[in-house]
Structure 1
């Protein structure tokens, strides 16, 4: 399993890395000492698990989880037992109170392995009909049917509905793996569209409610395949 360590204390990060290497089942891809750098990397490089400290310069580990575009497994590593309730709220795999022993570390990895097997053996579920996005300090539910398209804005994306536009910290690349693929499709490096909302296509552009959206050469063939052309 691929993992990342987010920990501002170098000695603690080095110990966690040694535990990962000793386990033989974890590959440490990177170590970050602050949330901003970790978030930038993780939204571009999805991983399996984060060993996450809570208190770090500038932002907390929970701030990272709030802004992350997907949900990897998380093992909290902190010296503050008062964060146990928050850990429960965020559905983390385990809570390792520093300093922890290697034996305690292996127990957390065993929990992770059990959860991974249960997830693989569970029957597939019907794709969700909605998503939740974090915007303006709150979680907002958007029904798939209401979303016209999603547009990249650098480190942010804009969800456009007929009634309103919502901006949230995310990337088109990360969202491409999270949205309902039966309903949504990436048509350009900067756009994901709701296929059922396309009004017409002209040359290398499509139109949704009068908005012109480019179709890249790399995606044009697949777009045409997905449309019901008679």
Structure 2
């Protein structure tokens, strides 16, 4: 896994390098002190993951993420919680608060690795009962009834089941068009849920098997009608 560290604070970069450098299969391809330097580097070098600060002189980490239409997974590393909502709207892999502990960074890297390992999968809908996931030369059959919800994450879409998730390199709109609309419903710009799997709806979130999915205001009325909420 190729990792790029981007932070205007040298001490923060050193700390991240020391932790990440000890994780098996992680290769630090470089360090940048500002976002523009990272943007230019990424034109020539390949990174799977960026450990990215948010508040930096010139271009911010949020702005860099928006300018990377396709590319590395983003793990934000910042001293402030204020940007969390905006960050996750960009579908980043994780959001770490400084000082970043070894355990928390390892968790974030493992999460990114799982997503990358599933990146070769593609989706085909054969009928109303199955989705076929292509992983290299192997085609896996996934029952629609096993899908709890679908989550968009930058260049990937994650199909969540009770046991695991499958990540495919596609857009949420493409997945939405292929899933039967009598069983699945968009409830947020980044989420589609299996209506029959909804346990409760409270305080703007859907709960499905102890997992929470946000409901955007624009979709709440449609959800209520679909659920026949009185």
Taking a change above 3 Å as real, the CA distance of residues 69 and 88 of structure 1, as seen in their structure-2 partners, is closer
Distance in 2 of aligned mates of 1:105 and 1:66:
23
Q: Any residues of structure 2 matched to 1:10-21 within 5 Å, and which?
A: 10-21=10-21
Residue 80 of structure 1: how far off its partner (Å): 0.6
* Matched residue, 1:22: 22
* Matched residue, 2:184: none
Deviates more, 1:4-13 or 1:68-77: 68-77
- Per-residue CA deviation, residues 114-154 of structure 1 (Å, 9 max, x unaligned), is 212232344469xxxxxxxxxxxxxxxxxxxxxxxxxxxxx
Does residue 98 in structure 1 map to residue 112 in structure 2?
Answer: no
Q: Any residues of structure 2 matched to 1:117-132 within 5 Å, and which?
A: 117-122=117-122, 123=133
Residue 68 of structure 1: how far off its partner (Å): 2.6
Structure 1 runs not aligned, ≥5 long: 126-230
Distance in 2 of aligned mates of 1:68 and 1:9:
22
Moved segments of 4+, more than 6 Å? none
Q: Tell me the number of residue pairs that the alignment of Structure 1 and Structure 2 aligns.
A: 125
The answer to whether the Cα contact below 8 Å between 2:4 and 2:51 also exists between their aligned partners in 1 is yes
The answer to whether the Cα contact below 8 Å between 1:42 and 1:68 also exists between their aligned partners in 2 is no
Residue 85 of structure 1: how far off its partner (Å): 0.7
Distance in 2 of aligned mates of 1:70 and 1:107:
23
Residue 69 of structure 1: how far off its partner (Å): 5.2
Distance in 2 of aligned mates of 1:19 and 1:97:
15
- Structure (1 or 2) with the larger CA radius of gyration: 1
* Matched residue, 1:9: 9
- Per-residue CA deviation, residues 159-210 of structure 1 (Å, 9 max, x unaligned), is xxxxxxxxxxxxxxxxxxxxxxxxxxxxxxxxxxxxxxxxxxxxxxxxxxxx
Deviates more, 1:82-91 or 1:112-121: 112-121
* Matched residue, 1:133: none
* Matched residue, 2:43: 43
Residue 56 of structure 1: how far off its partner (Å): 0.4
Residue 81 of structure 1: how far off its partner (Å): 0.5
The answer to whether the Cα contact below 8 Å between 2:6 and 2:50 also exists between their aligned partners in 1 is yes
SS across alignment from 1:119 = coil
The answer to whether the Cα contact below 8 Å between 2:66 and 2:90 also exists between their aligned partners in 1 is no
SS across alignment from 1:25 = coil
TM-score (norm 1): 0.51
